[in-house]
Structure 1
Amino acid sequence: MSKPASPTVDYEKLGAFYLGREVDPATGETLPGPLLYDSKDLCTHAVIVGMTGSGKTGLGVGLLEEAAIDGVPAIIVDPKGDMGNLALNFPQLRPEDFEPWVDAGEAQRAGKSVPEHAKATAEMWEKGIGKWDQDKARIKRLAHAAEVKIWTPGSKAGNPITMLKSFDAPAPAVIRDAESLGDRVQATTAGLLSLVGIDPDPVKSREAILIANILQHYWSRGENLGIGEMIGAIQSPPFEKLGVLDVETFYPRGDRASLAMRLNGLLASPGFAAWLEGEPLEIQRLLYAPDGRPRLSVLSLSHLSDEERMSFVTVLLGEILSWVRTQPGTSSLRALLYMDEIFGYFPPTANPPSKKPMLTLLKQARAFGLGVVLSTQNPVDLDYKGLSNCGTWFLGRLQTERDKLRVLDGLQGSLGEGGGLDRSTLEKMLSGMEKRTFLLHNVHEEKPALFQTRWVLSYLRGPLTRPEIERVTAKDKMDPPSASTLKAETKERAIAAEESAAQSSATLALKKSETFEGTALRPEIPEGIAERFLPLTDEPDESATVLYRPGLYVEAKAHYASSPMNVDHWVTFYGHAPIGEDEPALDWEDALIEDKEILAHKGGKRPRKGAQYADLPSTAKKTTTWARWHKGIQTQIYQAHAIECLKDKTTKLVSDALETPAAFRARTRQAHVEARDLALEKLRAKFATKIDRAQEQVRKAHERLGVQEEQLEEKSSNSWLSMGSSLLGALFSRKKLSATNMRSAKSALNSRTKVAKEKQDVERAERELKEREEDMRALEAEFKAAIDEISEVPAARDIELDEVTIRARKSDFDLSPPVLLWTPWIIGSDGVARRG
């Protein structure tokens, strides 16, 4: 809804963005009341066009501030460094807050010291926001609502982020969708090859075809790749054919080795080391903080080369596209992708790697609640065919008449869609545009609006330099690691500790047991028990001995279901416990795990030749013992492995088994947003006819009053003219009381009677207008009261959640037969054993 709102309406809770105030095109005067824009209209995307100095950055910053206040996260691609200003918001507006950021040269030119200039800037900002009906409390609300984080791929200046640490397989939903998987493969391939200056054409480039097939091979199996594994797979592909040709014919080994060396040389370059550091490129991490708060993630690219920028943006767009396709559909705004200065990434004729994923996002993302906002200073930078998918255009001051014509041509397809918008009107409104003034064309509205942008809450410092980025992100680098990072680190430490403890235990057992001997003969096992052998991860020396030690392996599928909680999950457990010499130390609470990475696979059916075997304890040679172990597993899982879920009372949503609290909070808040938007739609539908009718009645009452006032003025003028003629005639005529004078006097009296009647008509019109205006005010009060009843959407971290414990169903339990799993240990000539 891009229209002025009543000052009495609290637009902060309406999902409306306060962009500025409408401007009267005829007079150029700013109209009272805020110009509001429905946040969900951004689901149909937007484009901002304006020359340097038009106020384009201010509009973009203001738009993102409104998104943050409304709890909408955003990924912001920032090639120039301007959008980092979002991190510069100072709720107290103290001069000392501004002092580190003001321009010393600007202060000197103004004849002031830096502290004096900082004080003047603070006063200017407080006065500026106050003029636009904002205050310090709104800046504080912005700071509380969202976290601003500046990321610097390929640099440690900000928060480092890498796309090369691993090529992780996408989500299962993407893998199952052939088109989605293909788009993700193509984007990742193009991004990688762009780094080394190789054409990533998916049809003509041999390099692109080979790498795409490698990714397709592993990802379709749900397997991740590190960059090292990728180089290895280039040298020795995991398949024999590409199309109908064998690999050697299509891409000979020598040529593949050259590609591998080229990628390896890039990785080995000291200047490239920063690309391998930092957090992995994960969209959920960019959108939400560990505590569930939305993030404005500014991806600063000003320090990168053109090739590096293209590579990163292409991979980023591919990741966003994969993330979008895993989200449930919604008509409410879920997140924003804001791209400042689209130049070179979405041209009208060329086809850079970034163009296809961007075009796909513009076509498909709206159904999943992702709004794309593109900004540029030159209309020639844009593919207008693709931008026909954009429902909102913000048009500022343009460089030349030719640019204006390009914009008009680009909008030709949407002219008339919004009603009341034609080319001549648009051309007139675009002419003589002032700074910070934009023409808003929204296909969801009846007509365009000319408006002036509001004063932004963040301090517009200008492009941030590398030292300034380091300064603003210094606190981030001191923050505790994210929940996912802690979880991964804890898991790694647990695995390492487990392996270390197992190795130490084996070493002590071998050193203390002087009578211990392995045997070349495999021990006899009970009938019906299957055997598997884990492979060695390290090749032993010739003097070393491989010793297999026995263990118990099982797979169990447990069903966690609760109709009242709306939970229905199957969880697979993979268990491995060593069997001791006397009685197996089967602690299933510790041994059963939900992550099969700890146990890479079950192993093969054949052992290593020449290996020795530890003996089985006597109890493990009895069928009854294995049956007892098998029977106890279900009880252990039921008792020790309940699912701890979170539940939101309002929406009745329950977290998934493996969903993080932050992800669940974000999902829950989105449900609150959708409920709010639905309630607002119902209210609008309910009041729309009433408001239209009331407005029409006020309009007609105004018209009637105007007509009556005009008639009164006309009758009054005629009456006095008639009366004057009569008096003059009586005074100066030779015949004092002639018939003519008598008729004139009678006419004058009739005119006065008509004037009195007209006055009564005016009074009636005034009373009617007053009544209609009172009716309108009553309707507005009723509408406001209805809006006040709609609950304000809480911040994600403020949503109250209940903890719910759900145990596995005893009736739904799928337990595989137990397996005797032999684990290889390497015993060196010194008698020390280590896991093989």
Structure 2
Amino acid sequence: RWTADLWKKGLADWQQDGDRIKRLRAAVDMAIYTPGSNAGLPISVLKSFDAPSDAVLNDGDAFRDRIMSAVSGLLALLKIDADPINSREHILLSNILSNAWKEKRNLSVASLIQAIQVPPFEKIGFLDLETFYPSKDRLQLSMQLNNLLASPGFEAWMQGEALNIENLLMTKQGKPRISILSIAHLSESERMFFVTVLLNEVLAWVRSQSGTSSLRAILYMDEVFGYFPPTANPPSKTPMLTLLKQARAYGLGVVLSTQNPVDLDYKGLSNTGTWFIGRLQTERDKARVLDGLESASGSAGSQFQRQKMEAILSDLGSRVFLLHNVHEDAPVVFHTRWALSFLRGPLTRTQIKTLMDPRKNVSTETTAGTTTTAPAITTSTEQDLSQPPLIPPDIKQRIFTSSTLLPQGSRLVYRPGIIGLAKVRYADAKSKVDLWQDVALLTTITGALPETLWEDATPISPGNLDYDTEPAAQAQFAEVDSVLTRKTQYTTWEKELKTYLYQERPLNLWYSADPKLYSDPNENEAAFRARLKQLMREERDLQIEKLRTKYASRFDTIKNRIRTAEERVAREESQYSDKKLNTFLSIGTTLFGALMGRKVASASNVQKATTAARNVGRAAKEHGDIGRAKEALEIQQQKYAELEEEFQQELDKLEEPIHPEDLEIEEYPVRPRKSDLMVNEVAFVWLPWSVDATGISQPLYRLGGE
């Protein structure tokens, strides 16, 4: 009760109340994610090995940075201190990722383990693979990664929704989201791994956005110590430095905080434009911060007064901060207001669990984007064969790679399926869309053939397709329906696939009439609403700037009039003061002469008395002039206040909040032409499943949705 009263009084002293907190809670969705733990909302980091976007693939520097950070983060998790230049582990993994990503193939941890043992290349540089990294040593590295994958603690890293920046920023309906990524429970190596993965995902998201002067989002990191050191080069440093240099141009603000100002790379922080500095404990801290401020000011081309800044920093008290903006002429010292939220301190895992448990069941319903899918677990009753059934050679045959290790005590069984691969062109003049899209559809055959093969098929990402050349040793095979061995049936399925794609597979875009805008291909509803909001915000910022320009001359005119009126008041008050003094002197002289015995009616005394009387009249006139000057000043001040109110009213209209979930949008389907459909193949596919002693079977492959 005492704490509640204290906070209520503190908020009231700063003209804040509980209603503002309610408005915040109503305006945003709040979520706490705990990677590597199920205390909060779990989040999977396996997406970090997915092939990056075309923009990154076509940017040599960005592509190399992405590979280096991903590999460095993984090796940090394995507690391998790897130098990107000299480490065999780093070079091998970098080449494996580069090879897969250039082919636009995604890698799971399991497929990465297999690629370490049998890399898809025979040379690294000019040396053959065995000379550079013998197979015995590669096996040891794959065992380290396998042990990590098999450890009970790592299972939590593979649970939850995929790490997706758009999901972290907004709900499926486009409502803004505050995502808190809690890593306090992780070890140092796990923290470094996750922070590196997160920063790379943020960087990839930033590079997919268009440039803007308006703020889209903020990345806030509480305690950057250890992730951005002055001399060492941990895997988190490169993406962090890139974000500091480039992110703001794309609408992302980066806010970093620390209580360890000495161990930071201030050369890197020179890209920071705004600094908030509290009381510093040691002279060493102060010297390092001053060096950083001086470097930042130099980069921005502004002057830096070191002695003055040092004096200000020395005088800072408790809860008093210095604001240094490299674009402003002078720093500002301010006192922090009472925090809206109760400063409870770090939350325990139990407290996080209490907060997040109610929403764990609905978290997947409130996020945007796609999730990783897999066939359902089933009970196996069929008799499996030790040899694969005969498939005619004129039928294309594929074998899916296992992405999950076979559980102990289970047997590997390949089950049949049909996969269809096609290319579809979507062209539309209104939306200015013209692209070819790869399509992959998979049907698993668990019994009788479905009546509608493609309507019941599962859409999969072509980038997730990974085939083996031979079935695994000791594997068994399910029986195959004779229909699947007829070549003519595949010809029929090819025609049906083309018809299905023409009739049932339009490219669904989103459309807004006001402002008129079409979504990009593969842009989901939440992302489109966010882009609409950003577009409207940019237009609003432009209108606000025009409004400021419109009123600037009127404000300047009235300011000049106020300045003139103030000068007139000062001048009239000065003249009145002088006249008043002269009047007192004249009257005093006359009285003094009379008191000294001079003739009261002498010519001199009469003249002095007349002058004194005249001065009294002039002083009264000057006093009246002061009143009139003040009235004129008050009139101008009133005009200024009225103009300010008029400006604020127009500004308030422009600054009305934009709620993306309330924007009216509709679906806009773009259908392909029959001439723009190409079926590449319809093939028989073997799908790996594990079957335990009780007959319970589950898939060993995992396919990302389109």
TM-score (normalised: structure 2): 0.83
Superposition deviation, residue 630 in structure 1: 7.0
Is the alpha carbon distance of 1:366 and 1:816 closer, same or farther for their aligned partners in structure 2, counting shifts above 3 Å? same
- Partner residue in 1 for 2:553: 689
Superposition deviation, residue 552 in structure 1: 9.5
- Partner residue in 1 for 2:539: 675
Mapping 1:56-455, distance limit 5 Å: 119-164=1-46, 167-415=49-297, 422-455=305-338
Is the alpha carbon distance of 1:275 and 1:678 closer, same or farther for their aligned partners in structure 2, counting shifts above 3 Å? same
Q: Distance in 1 between matches of 2:145 and 2:416?
A: 42
CA displacement 1:633-669 (0-9 Å, x = unmatched): 6554443333443323333232344333222222222
Q: For residue 704 of structure 1, what is the amino acid of its counterpart? A: R
What is the aligned counterpart of 1:557 among 420, 424, 428?
424
- Partner residue in 2 for 1:804: 667
CA displacement 1:395-453 (0-9 Å, x = unmatched): 22221344334333322245596979733443343332222221212234443322222
- Partner residue in 2 for 1:763: 627
Give unpaired runs (5+ residues) of structure 2: 403-412, 471-478, 689-696, 701-706
Is the alpha carbon distance of 1:549 and 1:246 closer, same or farther for their aligned partners in structure 2, counting shifts above 3 Å? closer
Mapping 1:372-771, distance limit 5 Å: 372-415=254-297, 422-482=305-365, 488=371, 491-493=373-375, 532-535=396-399, 555-563=422-430, 565-574=431-440, 588-590=454-456, 593=459, 595-596=461-462, 636-771=500-635
CA displacement 1:134-160 (0-9 Å, x = unmatched): 222211111012222222223333223
Matched, 1:774 2:641: no
Identity %: 45
Is the alpha carbon distance of 1:602 and 1:795 closer, same or farther for their aligned partners in structure 2, counting shifts above 3 Å? farther
> Secondary structure, in 3 states, of the residue corresponding to 1:385?
helix
Is the alpha carbon distance of 1:791 and 1:567 closer, same or farther for their aligned partners in structure 2, counting shifts above 3 Å? farther
Superposition deviation, residue 343 in structure 1: 1.6
Q: For residue 200 of structure 1, what is the amino acid of its counterpart? A: A
> Secondary structure, in 3 states, of the residue corresponding to 1:801?
coil
Is the alpha carbon distance of 1:198 and 1:443 closer, same or farther for their aligned partners in structure 2, counting shifts above 3 Å? same
Is the alpha carbon distance of 1:207 and 1:740 closer, same or farther for their aligned partners in structure 2, counting shifts above 3 Å? farther
Q: Distance in 2 between matches of 1:222 and 1:251?
A: 25
TM-score (normalised: structure 1): 0.71
Give unpaired runs (5+ residues) of structure 1: 1-118, 511-517, 524-529, 539-545, 605-611, 827-833
- Partner residue in 2 for 1:9: none
Matched, 1:815 2:698: no
Superposition deviation, residue 128 in structure 1: 1.9
- Partner residue in 1 for 2:704: none
1:166–1:226 CA contact under 8 A, matched in 2: no
> Secondary structure, in 3 states, of the residue corresponding to 2:424?
strand
Greater shift in the superposed pair: 161-170 or 671-680: 161-170
Q: Distance in 2 between matches of 1:578 and 1:198?
A: 41
Q: For residue 188 of structure 1, what is the amino acid of its counterpart? A: A
1:340–1:376 CA contact under 8 A, matched in 2: yes
> Secondary structure, in 3 states, of the residue corresponding to 1:380?
coil
> Secondary structure, in 3 states, of the residue corresponding to 2:266?
coil
2:419–2:440 CA contact under 8 A, matched in 1: no
Is the alpha carbon distance of 1:475 and 1:208 closer, same or farther for their aligned partners in structure 2, counting shifts above 3 Å? same
> Secondary structure, in 3 states, of the residue corresponding to 2:345?
coil
> Secondary structure, in 3 states, of the residue corresponding to 1:645?
strand
Q: Distance in 2 between matches of 1:646 and 1:586?
A: 29
2:171–2:367 CA contact under 8 A, matched in 1: no
Measured on the aligned residues, the alpha-carbon RMSD in Å equals 4.2
Superposition deviation, residue 186 in structure 1: 1.0
Q: Distance in 1 between matches of 2:391 and 2:161?
A: 50
Q: Distance in 2 between matches of 1:342 and 1:601?
A: 42
Is the alpha carbon distance of 1:207 and 1:553 closer, same or farther for their aligned partners in structure 2, counting shifts above 3 Å? closer
Q: Distance in 2 between matches of 1:575 and 1:476?
A: 33
Superposition deviation, residue 165 in structure 1: 7.3
> Secondary structure, in 3 states, of the residue corresponding to 1:212?
helix
Superposition deviation, residue 739 in structure 1: 4.7
Q: For residue 426 of structure 2, what is the amino acid of its counterpart? A: H
CA displacement 1:150-207 (0-9 Å, x = unmatched): 2222333322334357622222322222221211111111111112322232112222
Is the alpha carbon distance of 1:548 and 1:684 closer, same or farther for their aligned partners in structure 2, counting shifts above 3 Å? closer
